[in-house]
Amino acid sequence: MNDLQEILELDTIEDFDALMSANRLELAEILATPKTAKEAAEDLGVPVTRLYYHLNALLDAGLVKVVDERPKGALKERIFQVVAKTIRPSRLFLETYGSEGMAEVSTMAFRQAETRFGAALKAGLIGAETDERTATLGLVNLRLSTARLHELVGRLEKLQADFAGDEGEHSVSFFHATHPRKDQS
């Protein structure tokens, strides 16, 4: 039942739109482990009737699937799970939408990261009031050879994958953007 693909590549802007609302992204994260709609609604603190709209959008986009069913009275209760640990644009997406499409998707991702980071700050989860080091934020400009740039990207992807399967007590957002930049010299 817990058989996630490592990577799901999306082909269209609409696929990303289906995922990138705050409610759907949060729902997808909760469904990293199999849950019923009722269990997911409880985790989110929302009525199950409100959750179904977002759940159906994720199902229609192929981002979530039914992984099991169990009897519940005269009915069957469906158990849902996301289909992959990592979601990214496909080669077809890049060929179809080019840099404009990537800019649109990256803007969606940056907005989500900004919203989540701001919410964590407001909730006091990050800052001088906390005793533990639980967050990092930085912008670093590096000068790397092509080989070292490939190494950096590979190591970041491996780092993310190494932590992706953990079931610890902290829900953590990991957002990074590594890219060549137009030199300003």
Q: Give the domain extent around 37.
A: 1-123
| Residue 185: band (very low, low, confident or very high) from pLDDT cuts 50, 70, 90 | very low
Integer Cα distance of 113 and 111 in angstroms: 5
Q: Which of 33-42, 58-67, 70-79, 166-175 has the lowest mean pLDDT?
A: 166-175
Assess if residue 140 is contained within a domain.
no
Digit-coded pLDDT (tens) for 75-113:
999 999 999 988 889 999 999 999 999 999 999 888 888
Contacts of 147 (CB under 8 A, 6+ apart): none
Assess if residue 58 is contained within a domain.
yes
Q: Is the pLDDT of residue 148 over 50?
A: yes
Assess if residue 163 is contained within a domain.
no
Structure tokens at 59: 């199902």
Assess if residue 139 is contained within a domain.
no
Assess if residue 170 is contained within a domain.
no
Query: What is the total count of domains within the chain?
Result: 1
Q: Is the pLDDT of residue 115 over 70?
A: yes
C-beta of residue 152 within 8 angstroms of C-beta of residue 144: yes
Integer Cα distance of 24 and 19 in angstroms: 6
Integer Cα distance of 36 and 79 in angstroms: 4
Assess if residue 151 is contained within a domain.
no
Contacts of 174 (CB under 8 A, 6+ apart): 160, 163
Assess if residue 56 is contained within a domain.
yes
The pTM of this model reads 0.74
Structure tokens at 108: 């969606």
pLDDT at 17: 87
pLDDT at 86: 84
Assess if residue 148 is contained within a domain.
no
Residue whose pair of structure tokens reads 């800019």 in the numeric block: 103
Closest CA to 21 of 73, 58, 70: 58
CATH code, domain carrying 103: 1.10.10.10
Integer Cα distance of 174 and 37 in angstroms: 26
Structure tokens at 65: 């699937």
